[in-house]
Each structure stands twice: as C-alpha cells, then as structure tokens.
Structure 1
C-alpha cells in the first residue's frame, strides 16, 4: 500500500512536474492537486480525499500556505505537511513550522532528497535539510538570547539532550526509564518555560546552551 500525497501549488506546471516525479517513488502516489488552500478545504470534505502528506506552497492566491497550515493543524492534525517553496527566509521557515509543517524544502530540491523527505516524515515525523536547520539557528537566536538562566530540572536537561536525536518520544521515555506521559510532561514544561512550540526549537536551545551530549 502506498502513502498518499496531495500537492497544493498555484503553479500548475510545477504541480504536474511534482506529480510526474513522485509517480516514480515506489512508496508514494499523488491523489490530486489544488491551486490554493480554499480549494483544498473543499476537497477534504470528502474523507476519501484525505492524504497522508500534503506538499504545500506558501505564496498562493485566495488562501496562502500559512493560513492553510494553521487550518490543517486544527482540522486534520494527522495529515503531515511538508512546505515546498522558493522562500528560504528564516521567518518563513519558523512560521511554517509553528503552523504545523513537519518539513521544509525548496522547489529546486533534487528528487532524491524529496523522496528522502517524504520517507522521513512518514517514518520519523519530520525532515529538515541542513540549510533549514541553519536558518532556524539564525532565526531563533534572538528568541533564545538571555534565556540561559532559566531554571531547568536535571530531568528536563536530560530530556533536552535527546531532542537533537531522531528518537521518538516513546523511545526517549525508554532511555529515561519513565513513561511516555512523563516525557510529554517534560516537553510541555519546557515549551512553557522557554516560550516554544516545537521540538526543533528545544533542540536548537539545547545545542546553543551546551546541553546536548
């Protein structure tokens, strides 16, 4: 059984090219294409049209990628979003991740990396190429500045060490000899203390403050 993909991009030629490329990936298939978020909303009223992954452009008429990602996060949280854009600015990367995107690729990405990203998002939950991680470092630097003195428990610091790995929260709980629910409580506590909303943000904080092993 193949994982299903929907392409949301107002550039028809790009959408058709993506469909052609993905047709060569053994684990994936494209269900359909949409030109904006509003058209996607209408499609998703039919349960048969709900995909595993949505490849989402940012700059679109009627309803752009930011609005669409927020709507998807609220109404279809199980659908994984991968941003596919020409915009490599740190503000856009951070905003899309906060809106629910699980990956961020540029439109000049090689098909090999596109397939790798699709597999990673399905198997591990996210995919961020090196340039996107560097962009996050740059964009979050100002947000992280001055927060080193925040009081963290030893268990929270231990949890932060694992945020830079590819382990799932369940696997982290096994490493920390506690329940997954306890690990989630560490995560939520850190989100509140550090003013963050994503694991990526926690990982960047851990690295920049010398908490990563």
Structure 2
C-alpha cells in the first residue's frame, strides 16, 4: 500500500487533450521541464481523452474545448462524472462568455488561455491537482459574474448530485475525513468536490457554504 508520504511526493500525472499535435508536443516538452509533473498520455479528440483518462487515471487533464468527434466541454462533463478524482484544466484560445459558462457547468476546475505564460500554466496545474480552482486574469472577472448570475437565480440546482451530498454532510458539521468515509470517497476527491461547491456557490469559506446549505434546507437530521 502506498504511504501518505509517498502520495504527497508523487508526481502530478497530466494528460494532454488537444487536436493539434504541434500544440500537444509543445506542451509535453514544456511540462517535461517541470519538477514533479509527468505527462502520462495525449489525446486528439474528446473520445480519445475519455479512453486515455480511463487508462491512465491522471490527476489533471489539460483540455482544449474545440476538438473533433466529441468537444472538450462534453468530454469534461463525462470525465468529471466518471472520474471525480481527475481535475480538468481548460487551456484554449477562446475566452467567450458562453464557453466559459459551459466549461464551468461541465465541472472544469480552471480556465486558461493558450497565451498564458509558463509560470501561470504551472501554477494552474498544481492548483487544480490540489483541489483548488484557478482562472486566468483575463477571464476571472467574467467567471465571478457567471457565478453571481447563477446565485441570483438558484444556486443549488447547479450542483451535481454528489456535490449536494457533500454539501449536505458539510452542513451537519462533518469533516472532510468523515465525508470521505460516509460516501466511500478518497479525501482528495472530497476536497475536489468542496472546491467545486465553493466555486458554484460563489463563496470562499466553509462557513459561507454551510449558511447557504442550511438556508436551502440541507444538513437537517432527525
């Protein structure tokens, strides 16, 4: 069995999904220079991305949105649904509001433009692998507006069924470890779900999320 210390020092396993071989090759070479980051696979279509994720179980998928056969948004949605321990970081040329919103709803943990500097890409990969959410400065403002608009309508319907379960247990005061045990998930997966909940609710602390959950009737036990 792998010890906690070994897991903490294991390399971040990254899968690259982009329909341009030159882009994938460049990214692979760039990431190959980073300490503690390992490229474990590449994909040129959304379907290939799904197959490679199932095969390699990466920590992070760097995902383009405009790909043939199955686009990056739908591929992201399926990866998040079927492999919740894998975080998706969007890396695209497009900063359209509609695409940003679709990627967020699909469960992307971050959204960067391909014009991002190497340091920004490295920071984003390490952040999403740790369960955080990160966005390039050029789209961050629009992300906040998307979240605010969602909150004005109704926040909880934007949560996945699993995220609602996690939020419900959070509202009872359960710790991440207790939630992981109750739902038969790894602590890392619980952390990823909580980061996604924070993003979708537009909050930054556990206390704020719990207040919203209780207002929505979650966390109640007989």
- Rounded Cα–Cα distance in structure 1 between residues aligned with 2:113 and 2:172: 39
Name the TM-score, length of structure 2 as normaliser: 0.65
| Aligned 1:18-97 pairs, distance under 5 A | 18-46=27-55, 49-97=56-104
Q: Normalising to structure 1: TM-score of the pair? A: 0.68
Report Cα offsets for 1:44-94 as digits up to 9, x if no partner. Answer: 443xx1111100000000011011011111211111100001111222112
User: Closer, same or farther in 2 for the Cα pair 1:201/1:44, shift >3 Å?
Assistant: closer
CA–CA separation in structure 2 for the residues paired with 1:85 and 1:102 = 14
Question: Partner of 2:202 in structure 1?
Answer: 203
Contact 2:87 2:109 in 1 (8 A): yes
Match 1:128 to one of 121, 128, 135:
135
Larger Rg: 1
Contact 2:80 2:87 in 1 (8 A): no
Whole-angstrom distance in 2 between the partners of 1:85 and 1:32: 18
Match status 1:180 vs 2:211: no
Aligned equivalents of 2:101, 2:40: Cα separation in 1:
28
**What's the RMSD between the two structures over aligned residues?**
3.0
**2:53 and 2:79 in contact (8 A); partners too:** no
Distance 2:65 2:152 in 1: 29
Distance in 2 between the 1:199 and 1:30 partners? 29
1:154 alignment partner in structure 2: none
Aligned to 2:67, what secondary structure does the other structure show? Answer: coil
Q: Which runs of 5+ in 1 are unaligned?
A: 148-168, 185-196, 207-213
Deviation by residue 1:163-198 (Cα, 9 ceiling, x = unmatched): xxxxxx9xxx7xx994337xx9xxxxxxxxxxxx84
The residue correspondences of 1:127-206 to structure 2 (distance < 5 A) are: 127-140=134-147, 142-145=149-152, 178-180=173-175, 198-203=197-202
In the alignment, the residues of structure 1 paired with residue 53 and residue 147 of structure 2 have an alpha-carbon distance, to the nearest angstrom, of 34
Distance 1:100 1:145, change over 3 A: closer
Equivalents in 2 of 1:40, 1:98: separation in Å? 19
Change (3 A) 1:10 1:130: same
What SS is found at the alignment partner of 1:96?
A: helix
Which segments of 5 or more consecutive residues in structure 2 lack a partner in the other structure?
Answer: 1-9, 155-166, 180-195, 206-222
